[in-house]
Every structure is written in C-alpha cells, then in structure tokens.
Amino acid sequence: MKLQISHYLRVLCFVFFTLSSYSFVLHGDNNNITSNLSLRNRVRDKSSALIVNVISFGARANNQKDQTKAFVAAWDKACKSSSRSVLFIIPRGEFYVGPLRFSGPCTNVTNLTVQVEGHLKASTDLSKYRSGSGWIEFGWINGLTLTGGGTFDGQGALAWPYNNCASDHNCKLLPTSLKFVGMNRTVVRRISSVNSKFFHIALVECRDFKGTRLNITAPSYSPNTDGIHIERSSNVYFSRSRIATGDDCVSIGQGNSQITITSIKCGPGHGISVGSLGRYPNEKDVKGLVVRDCKMSGTTNGIRIKTWADSPGLSAATNMTFQNIIMSNVTNPIIIDQSYCPFSSCTSNVPSKVKLSEIYFKNIRGTSSSKVAVQLHCSRGRPCQKVYLENVHLEQSENRGNEAVSSSCRNVRANYIGTQIPPPCH
C-alpha cells in the first residue's frame, strides 16, 4: 500500500511541475512531512525531474542516531541519476549527520537542487574529521543550488577548547561546516549556519558562485569561526546576508579574482578581511575585489588587508574597491597591516613581500572605538602604490568622549579626495 501511495505522489508531483512550476506538497512515510517549495527557476525540465527524499532511504528525523548512511545512499541515487534535473530533499526535523561528502561529478545532472528544510547537527566526535576537512563537503558538481531555509548546526561549543591554532601554527584544523571544492555554477541561498567548529562556509577553487540571504552566527569568543572564507576562486558574489561570529565575517584568501561582497551586516566579528596573504610559498595573486554597501557593528576591524611579515614568496593584491561602508563603534575601521604576525615564532621585522596596489576606499563613514581610525601600514620592502581615500568620515564613538581620531601611515603615499576625517597622513 505504501508503494502505491508513494507512486501516486510521485506522479502527482510531476503533474504539479508541469502545470504550475510554483510549489508542491509531499506527505509521506508516517512523518507528516510537508515541503512547500518555490521551484520556478530552480529545477528545469520539470517533467523529467527526479525527486530524492532522504526519508525514503532510511533517514529518521528527531532521532539521536547518526543518519549519515541514509544521506549517502540518497546522494548516490541523486548524483548517478540519468535525469537532467534532480531535487534532493532533506525535510523538516533534526538530523544528526557527519562528516558528509556530496561529491561529483554527477555526469548526467545539470541542475541539482538540495532543499534543506530541517536542522542538521554535526557529530561532536572530533576523531571522525580529518584536519582541514569539512563537516559537509560539496565537491566537483556543476549546477548546484543549496536552499530551503534549513540550519546547519556545527555544535562547535564542545570543539572550541581544542582549537590551539593561536599558539601552534602546525595545529590540527577543526572542520569547516560547509565546504565547497571545485564547484561550478553554484547558488546558495536562504540557509543558516550556527556554531561552526571552524569556518562556517569555505570556497576552494570554485567558479561562478552566488550566495545570498544567509544567516551565520556564532559567539564572539568562538575561535576561527570565519563566516565566509574564499580561496583560489573566481566570479564569486555574496549579498544580503547577516554574519555575527568570532572571527572575520568574510575573509578573502589567496588566488581569488572577481569577488563581490555586497549588503552584508557584520558584527560581532573581525570585519571583512583580505588575507592573511603571504604565509605560504607560491601563493597566487588577488585581483578584482569589490566590497560595497556593508555595515560593520562592534567589530574589531572594519575593512582590513593583512599580509604576513617575512612572507616566503612574491605575490600581489590589486584592484580592490571598498565603497559605501558604514562603521558603528569599530575598533579599526580602515586598516592595512603588512606586518601580520600572530605567532610568537615568526619574524615580524622582516618586511612582507606581498605587493598591494590600486586600493580604493570610497564613502566610508561612521564611528571608531579607537583613536587611530585609519591605519595604512605597508611593507617597507614593497611599499603600497595607488591607494585612494575618497570621502572618509570617521568620528570617535560616544563612549570615547570628544577625543579626535587620527590616521597613521607607513611606506605609502595615499591620494585623498573629498572629505577626510580623520585628517590625512603627512
């Protein structure tokens, strides 16, 4: 009887796909699961779309047992499908999983939508994770959409005490909650990430990636919980998201090009950072970065560019624009730090070999919680070139009284246009 009902529902869904392209409702497997999905522009070729629900492969919501096996079986079915369009459903409820690897290539599938409506919880057993791996990894997939309003809960509170990376640069890295590797044409929207063990979201060697309407949260004291980290990727766009975490809201690593970050509300956290760059040999250049229409609230930094002192190889970061940024009680609203040295073992008196040029700060306004609101400390070995500040208006936060803010510059001759508060460096 269940098989007949399941078959009937499958047929009914295809009818809805063909006639409306708006939504469908699934009720099945005694779980009273209802999925209201807006599928227009999400699953093409709807008449032949394959629907894969993890419940059909043995997953059970609100069950304390690990559901990884069922998720892997469902993914195997979805990725190996002969259908061009696949809808992979994780319904409402709590699911304990991980680590999970959703790997491609999915040879025949050109549009794969992963609809997460539930609350996924990561395993707290750190022995299950490889250093630098992800809790949930998507790799080598073309045309993925991850959406659904669900939550990825890294359960990081039990792991943070084991993060010793601040004192040991050879530390074992805790897992990133959502890691994307070698992806093409990816859309991530309307998901939440909470309490990641390490980074919330990381991109490595991805192209044509769009993330929007993301909600990322972890306590301000949680170590290395960067909201979004991007490395060796191109044509990446993140927008309209809220990030409150214990490290950088967004960090732009080496080898990136054509990155746009817009309409991000950041805080608490360490702001939006380029870097750190220059830590490893043979790093690739960063070029073509736009950060605009963002707001920083109570962050330790606003816009930061940081490169390692005594970097082992030559590299560059160029053509970077930071525009229409509001700072609210930010400790370092604008900062270039080319003597970045978080470990006591590094030699900070050796100049950085990372070349910074064509940097534009436009329409930056708000309040600074420190006296030095603009700090441009460049490398004496490779001084910054073509740095422009246009219409910068940063005043002291109310809790600092009437003390005037100031600028500090080293190894740079910046160009100033329009309003300049604090006064330019001389």
Q: Residue 279 sits in a domain of what CATH number?
A: 2.160.20.10
Say yes or no to pLDDT of 277 above 80: yes
Q: What pLDDT is recorded for position 13? A: 44
Q: What pLDDT is recorded for position 81? A: 96
User: Per-residue pLDDT averaged across 119-144, rounded?
Assistant: 97
Q: What pLDDT is recorded for position 346? A: 67
103-122 tens-digit pLDDT: 999 999 999 999 999 999 99
pLDDT confidence bin for 327, thresholds 50/70/90: very high
Q: Is 284 within the bounds of a domain?
A: yes
Q: What pLDDT is recorded for position 21? A: 36
286-309 tens-digit pLDDT: 999 999 999 999 999 999 999 999
Q: How far apart are CA 29 and CA 26, in angstroms?
A: 10
Higher model confidence: residue 138 or residue 6? Answer: 138
Q: What pLDDT is recorded for position 347? A: 63
**Beta strand ranges found along 140-254 (DSSP E):** 144-147, 151-153, 176-181, 184-194, 201-204, 207-217, 228-231, 234-244, 250-252
User: Per-residue pLDDT averaged across 356-385, rounded?
Assistant: 98
Q: What pLDDT is recorded for position 2? A: 40
pLDDT confidence bin for 341, thresholds 50/70/90: confident
Q: What pLDDT is recorded for position 126? A: 96
User: Per-residue pLDDT averaged across 303-319, rounded?
Assistant: 95
Say yes or no to pLDDT of 137 above 80: yes
- Domain assignment of residue 384, given as a range: 248-426
User: Per-residue pLDDT averaged across 76-86, rounded?
Assistant: 97
pLDDT confidence bin for 22, thresholds 50/70/90: very low
Q: Which of 270, 377, 393, 426 is catalytic?
A: 270
Q: Is 312 within the bounds of a domain?
A: yes
Q: Is 132 within the bounds of a domain?
A: no
Q: Is 391 within the bounds of a domain?
A: yes
The domain tally of the chain equals 1
pLDDT confidence bin for 390, thresholds 50/70/90: very high
pLDDT confidence bin for 25, thresholds 50/70/90: very low
Q: How far apart are CA 410 and CA 392, in angstroms?
A: 19
CB count within 10 Å of CB 57 equals 17
User: Per-residue pLDDT averaged across 153-159, rounded?
Assistant: 98
Q: Is 321 within the bounds of a domain?
A: yes
pLDDT confidence bin for 16, thresholds 50/70/90: very low
Of 334, 270, 260, 263, the C-alpha closest to 297 is: 270
Q: Determine whether 270 is an active site residue.
A: yes
pLDDT confidence bin for 363, thresholds 50/70/90: very high
Q: Is 188 within the bounds of a domain?
A: no
222-238 tens-digit pLDDT: 999 999 999 999 999 99
Q: What pLDDT is recorded for position 257? A: 99
pTM of structure: 0.89
Q: Is 153 within the bounds of a domain?
A: no
Q: Is 93 within the bounds of a domain?
A: no
Q: How far is CA 114 from CA 7, 222, 235, 358, 384, in A?
A: 21, 29, 22, 39, 44
